[in-house]
Amino acid sequence: MTSLAQIPYMLALCFLGSFCGLIGGVILLWKEAWARKLSHFFISFAVGALLGSALFDLIPEAAGLSKYAFLYVLVGIVVFSITERALVWHHHHHNHEREHHLKKPLAYYVPLLMIGDTVHNFIDGVIIAATYLFSAPLGLITTLAVFLHEMPQEIGDFSVMLHAKYPKNKIFWYNFASASATFVGAFVVFFSSYLVQAKLYPLIAFAAGGFIYIAASDLMPELKHEAVKLQDIIVQTIIMIAGIAIMVALSEFFGV
């Protein structure tokens, strides 16, 4: 059963997964060229981390609890896809190609971006809390995966708002407020967990589906745009494998 003593640890994980992810956007506000260069490495690593976490941690844990686990993995993939499309905002991490296609001013899409980001952060909070309540080590691994994909995403979000001529202080505080939704999602799960404590496996499998969707639909296409040389593909592949390997190593270390 859950206890109030778990709240500080859950909040710490939410802080790591959401607010620490803002570091990518802050770097962009400070040094744009440097941030864009770093984002390529973060994207590659995040793909490996998300896939490693989903395939070697979340899915095995959920599958060990129910034969229906893979159904919820599919539900996670479908829900993430529908949510993204319903908000009319596909989370790219660079806005150059997007600007080429948009006919309306970029500022028109910033509210949609903030809505989409807030919903995404809420779901991150749900995922972090559900995995933590099931297993503290699994919650930590999941939080690291969330953090790693939030870094390049925030660089993209900050970039859109910069190009829309938003003041830098407003860019930060808007994204800070959006990141707060992570805590809301976590508390929703925490305070309802006494009703579903034995049924957390659907949320764990759902998280795996979400991670797979983000890696395959959002992040991998970005790598295709960036990899124009053979050496780029080799470097991206090595970093991606490193992301998978680190998640597997963490899983073994914590005994997840």
- Summarize pLDDT for 11-28 with one digit per residue, the tens: 999 999 999 989 888 888
**Cβ neighbour number for residue 196 with a 10 Å cutoff:** 14
Q: What is the pLDDT at residue 198?
A: 55
Angle between helices 110-134 and 136-163 (to 10 degrees): 170
Q: What is the pLDDT at residue 38?
A: 75
Q: What is the pLDDT at residue 91?
A: 46
What value does the mean pLDDT take over residues 205-214?
94
Q: What is the pLDDT at residue 222?
A: 81
Q: What is the pLDDT at residue 239?
A: 93
Q: What is the pLDDT at residue 94?
A: 45
What value does the mean pLDDT take over residues 31-44?
79
Query: Among the listed ranges 51-60, 98-107, 142-151, 153-162, which one has the minimum average pLDDT value?
Result: 98-107
pLDDT class of 210 with cuts at 50, 70, 90:
very high
- With 0-12 CB in 10 A as exposed, 13-18 as middle and 19+ as buried, what is 206? buried
- With 0-12 CB in 10 A as exposed, 13-18 as middle and 19+ as buried, what is 236? buried
Identify which has the larger pLDDT, 100 or 74: 74
What value does the mean pLDDT take over residues 148-170?
86
How far apart are the C-alpha atoms of 147 and 29, rounded to whole Å? 19
Decide: 162 and 25 in contact? Cβ < 8 Å: no
Decide: 25 and 156 in contact? Cβ < 8 Å: no
What value does the mean pLDDT take over residues 35-49?
85
Q: Indicate if the pLDDT at residue 74 is higher than 90.
A: yes
Q: What is the pLDDT at residue 95?
A: 46
pLDDT class of 60 with cuts at 50, 70, 90:
very high
What value does the mean pLDDT take over residues 134-162?
90
Q: What is the pTM of this model?
A: 0.85
